Structure formats: C-alpha cells, structure tokens
Chains A and B, each alone.
Chain A
Amino acid sequence: MNSWYFSHLVLIQSTFISFLLALSIQVPLRAGVFSFAGVGSYAIGAYAAAILTIRAQVAPVLAIGAGILVAAVAGWLLALLVARLSGLYLGMATISFALFLGVLATNGGELTGGATGLYGAISTLTTTHVVVVSVLVALLLAASERGAYGRRVDAVREDPHLAVSLGIDVTRVRRRVFVVSGALGACAGGMNSLLRTTVSPETVGFHLVVTALTMIIVGGALSWAGAAIGAVVFTWLPSVLQFVGEWQLVVYGVVVAAAAVWVPGGLLGLVQDRWHRWQVRRRRIPAEGATAPVADVPADAEQQLAALGGPAAEARP
C-alpha cells in the first residue's frame, strides 16, 4: 500500500487539484452560467501562490489565501462586466479572460518569470492539506445542493423567469457563483503551484478549459460528485490507457463524445436516474404517462410577438 501510494503520489495529488478545478466550472454550470472564468482564476491562484512563496516566503495558507481573495474579487468584477451575457457569448468572454491572464503571465517580466515561469516555490503544503481542503469544499458544495439552497439554484438554471417570480434574485445568485468559481479555481491553482514548486504559462493554458469541461461532461455537471467522478476518470485514464500508446487521445475523444451523446447527465446522472426509477417502482407510485396537453393550448400574445420578431413579452429561456 505504502509503496503504491508513493509511486502514485503525483497522480493522487493531481486528482484532487483537478477535482477543485473541475468544480470551478461545475458550480457556474449548475446555476446555468456557462463560464470558464475558473480557469483564469486558476492562473491567478497559481501565480499569486508562487510569487508570494518565492519572494515573500509567506506561509502556504496565506499565499493560497491571497490568490483566492484576488480571484474572488476578480470574479465579482467579471460578473458585473458580463452581467448581460449568457450562453455561448458568456463562454467566449470568460475563455478570453483565461487567455488574457495567460498572456499577462507570459509578458509579466521578472514578476511572473515570463515564458519560462517561476521555480522554487518550496513550501510546507502537503498532500494531506490538499485532501482536507477538497473534502471540506465537497461537504460545503454538497450542502449547497440540498434543500432550499439546491432547489433555488436549480430554478435559476432551468428557468430564470420562473425563479424571479418565485422571489429569487437571479442576478445575485449569478454574481455569487462567479465569486465561488473564482475562489475554487484559485485554490486549485495555488495548491498546484506549491505542490509542484513551479508554475509557467504553459501549465495554466487553454488545455485546462478542455480538461475541466471533459471531466464534468463525463462525470455529470449537476453535482460536485460528477466533478469527482470526472476527476478520477480523467486523471487515471492515461495511466490505464498506456497500452494503446499514441491512440490515447482518440480513445479520450470517443469517451467524451459517447458521454455527451448517450449520457447527457454524465455518469452521475445515469446513476441518479436509475435510483429514482428504482425508488418509484419500490413505492409503487404509478407514473401518470407523458406530459401532453389534452386539448390544444392556444397561442397567445408572447408567441405571436415572438413570431413577429419582436422581443418576447415573457422571454423564455
């Protein structure tokens, strides 16, 4: 066990870092916010921790904490800036935030070490710390998915107009989501820098968007557990797939495509669906049959307005 642990230490650490990074994308997605700002925050956290550790020799908790604070504030400001964007446009805007930070890191001169990055961020951060932080984050997010907290986020994602009519301040929920996503991303980035003792523009690049998104598509986007499943699968898959050699990326692509097509809720969604069906059958509640109008529902003002190309009276998501 012990020798296995030490020979796989890097993978074990990566699993937890990837988990936190994936969460920084999963948390906004659960609220229906298509934001990749978490990857930009990862860069903020990674550089903040490395710079503070190398130049000021501060304790890891402060170095990482400072990055989290900066990224959370950046997230809040970004939320104000992109308040009117949604969907694909929001995705693009937040990806460019991540790319912008990469460019900033490359051209940061001595402060960021330019294209070669920074080395020698040696600290007292251990794997145990990383595990403890990950578990705490998972517990908090699990709580946020339960009860009234969870229902309200579900409403914001599925039907913002309905959420508003139920008294939920959708704008505020979205702003909070940006802040939490920023904090999670920075936490992952900061811990990664200190575990690896190094950071460079390459390690905070666009590939992180792909990695995180892949994890939550396959794992499931609607829960922290989906991010956990995705992080485990995609951190360990390469070592399992070593025998296919250079075909690895192809297998990767097929897995993601298959998940997107056949299990849109991810592996977690699949399990939850089965669980619900089993419960319903166990309690013998007769399903009522498909939702279908008995009589035709008349078209009304909004639909006609929408058909005319005007703004829909009650914009439907």
Chain B
Amino acid sequence: MTALSGRPAGPAPGTGAAVLQGSDVAVHYGGIRAVDGVDLTLETGRILGVLGPNGSGKSTLLAALTRLVPLTRGRLTLDGEDYGRTPPSRLAHRGIARTFQTVRLLPDLTVLGNIQLGADLRLGRGARLRELVRRTVPEAVQEAVERTGVGDLLDLRPGELSYGTARRVEIARALAGRPRVLMLDEPTAGMNQPERLEVAGLLRRLRDEGLTQLLVEHDVSMMVDTCDRLLAMNQGRPIAEGPPRDVVRDAAVQEAYLGKRGHRAGDR
C-alpha cells in the first residue's frame, strides 16, 4: 500500500501514517468467497472509502476487520501489531469503533442511554459506581451529542425517531467512545439528501481533527467528495484502489458498479 497521493484540493490533513492494515484478507463460507485477497491501509486522519455493488463483500470486509467473523486467510495489524487473534470485544478498548448497516439501537434505552453505551467502556469502576448515585453524562457523550445534533431528542426512545435520526444517534454512539479508528457501514442509507450532506460534512470535520475512518457507502458522489482514497470491490475481490476520481473512472469499476452508464461517474 502506498501513501496517499493526488487529493484534489489543498494539502491532505493528517500524518498519513498507517494505523490499521489488512493484507490478503479473505473470508470464505464453504464455496462462497465473500472477501478474497483484499489489501488495505487506514492512514491517520484520512478516510478510506470502500465502494462496490451489493454483495461485493464490503460489509463482510468490515466484519473481518472488526473480528466479528474469522479470517480464512490474511493478516490484520493495528499500529503494526497483529490483532488477528484479539477477541472482538478488546478492539473497542483499543480504539476501533464501528456502526452497522442496519439501525441497531437498544429499544428500551433512551437516545441518551444508547449514546452513553458507546462511552461506557471508558468508565472506570469508580465512575460506574458514582453513576448509580448521581446521573452524570461524560464529556465525550456531550461532545458526541453536540456534533451529531441530537441534543433535543435525548429522552426519546429509538422507536420514536425517524430513520435518518436513528442513524445519526448511531454515529454519536460510536463517537462517544472517542475512537481512533471509525468504521461506518452505509451511515447515510435511508437518509434524504440534506441529511446525507450533513453527515458527509461531519465525517470530513472529524477527519480534519485526525480521526481515521473507513467508510462503506453506495452514494458515489458522496464518496468522491468525502474520501481521500477509494477501494473498489466486486465479488469479494479488490478491482481498483487509489484517489477517488481515478477509481470511479476506472474501467473495471464502471463496468462492475455503474454498469455501462459511461462517464457519469459522479451520478448515483
């Protein structure tokens, strides 16, 4: 994997040092090669976008990187250290947070409770015991609430939220743990255009503050505008990798992902 190059506007933020790397990552289910031989590098303060048609293995790749599914083959490193055998629950403690493709909020907790869940792993025993007596909201949670703009909805339950708002609450939950690496699986699915732009803006701001991200999305124009690099996949295999505009113009990508729609790479 090479360092970042060719970001169109201005100097790229972040240091570009490799935080998380996967090499020759493969996940097979019997005869199905859900992910097969993917190499990727997440660099400090940059966004890697993973693009591909339905069933191309994006979500499985994310599950593999977060150790929710076992690798058939390959190697995963975090800060140069192999984490291929680390229990998945330890990864959150090491600063990896993720969201899922579907809304996964706990129905019986309020919005605030759901967001706090993301920060709970940072609480020591003392803080947990104190919370039994006095309701306290950690600073990280307040910050996540402000950033995602869900401050007016904290007492509601997930069932009372619109789909787009529920997804923002999930991003808030992931941010509340103050992760170093954030992996987002279609964070704007089901959102309307203004909401999408808002989320894209938020992700870029977080990137500029140094948060390393992996973004799985369907919205090609959003991916081009938001990501520093793109990795395109088809049928579990990587087909192109590089600066966003180059990747979406790649013939193999056009063929696999956009069909034969020609050069309207920026369109959905």
List the interface of chain A (C-beta within 8 A of B): 143, 146-149, 151-152, 154-155, 158-159, 161-170, 222, 276, 279-280, 283, 285, 287-295, 297-302, 304-305, 308, 310-311, 313-314
Q: How far is the CA of A290 from the CA of B190 in the complex (A)?
A: 13
Q: How far is the CA of A302 from the CA of B56 in the complex (A)?
A: 10
Q: How far is the CA of A163 from the CA of B113 in the complex (A)?
A: 14
Q: Closest Cβ of chain B: how far from A284's Cβ, in Å?
A: 11
Q: How far is the CA of A146 from the CA of B136 in the complex (A)?
A: 12
Are A151 and B156 in contact (CB-based, < 8 A)?
no
Q: Closest Cβ of chain A: how far from B33's Cβ, in Å?
A: 11
Beyond A165-B66, A300-B54, list 5 extra A-B contacts (CB 8 Å). A154-B106, A167-B93, A285-B153, A301-B60, A314-B68
Can you identify 28 A-B contacts, CB atoms within 8 angstroms? A149-B128, A149-B132, A151-B106, A151-B113, A155-B117, A158-B107, A165-B97, A166-B92, A166-B120, A166-B121, A168-B89, A170-B89, A276-B157, A285-B153, A288-B153, A289-B162, A292-B162, A294-B191, A298-B186, A300-B101, A301-B54, A301-B56, A302-B60, A304-B55, A305-B34, A310-B30, A314-B59, A314-B69
User: Contact partner of A147 among B90, B132, B156, CB < 8 A?
Assistant: B132
Q: How far is the CA of A149 from the CA of B163 in the complex (A)?
A: 28
Q: Closest Cβ of chain A: how far from B163's Cβ, in Å?
A: 5
Are B60 and A313 in contact (CB-based, < 8 A)?
yes
Contact with A along B153-172 (1 / 0, CB 8 A): 10111111111111000000
Q: How far is the CA of A288 from the CA of B107 in the complex (A)?
A: 15
User: Given the complex, which residues of B lie within 8 Å of A159, measured CB to CB?
Assistant: 104, 106
User: Contact partner of B152 among A158, A285, A291, A299, CB < 8 A?
Assistant: A285
Are A148 and B128 in contact (CB-based, < 8 A)?
yes
User: Given the complex, which residues of A lie within 8 Å of B30, measured CB to CB?
Assistant: 310
User: Given the complex, which residues of A lie within 8 Å of B81, measured CB to CB?
Assistant: none
Number of chain B interface residues as a range? 35 or more
User: Given the complex, which residues of B lie within 8 Å of A297, measured CB to CB?
Assistant: 101-102, 186, 189-190
Q: How far is the CA of A143 from the CA of B128 in the complex (A)?
A: 10
Q: Closest Cβ of chain B: how far from A289's Cβ, in Å?
A: 6
Are A301 and B155 in contact (CB-based, < 8 A)?
no
Q: Given A148-B116, A314-B100 in contact, is the A166-B59 Cβ separation under 8 Å?
A: no
Residue B109 at the chain A interface, CB threshold 8 Å? yes
Are B55 and A166 in contact (CB-based, < 8 A)?
no
User: Contact partner of A313 among B69, B92, B103, B157, CB < 8 A?
Assistant: B69
Q: Given A148-B116, A154-B106, A162-B104 in contact, is the A287-B160 Cβ separation under 8 Å?
A: yes
Are A155 and B89 in contact (CB-based, < 8 A)?
no
Residue of A nearest to B64 (CB): A313
User: Given the complex, which residues of A lie within 8 Å of B218, measured CB to CB?
Assistant: 298
Contact with A along B41-75 (1 / 0, CB 8 A): 00000000000001111111001001011000000
Q: How far is the CA of A53 from the CA of B152 in the complex (A)?
A: 60
Are A301 and B160 in contact (CB-based, < 8 A)?
no
Residue B88 at the chain A interface, CB threshold 8 Å? yes
Q: Closest Cβ of chain B: how far from A285's Cβ, in Å?
A: 6
Q: Closest Cβ of chain B: how far from A107's Cβ, in Å?
A: 42
Q: How far is the CA of A163 from the CA of B66 in the complex (A)?
A: 13
Residue in A163, A165, A168, A283 with the greatest tally of chain B CB atoms within 10 Å: A165
- Which B84-125 residues have C-beta < 8 A from chain A? 87-93, 97-98, 100-104, 106-109, 113, 116-118, 120-121, 123
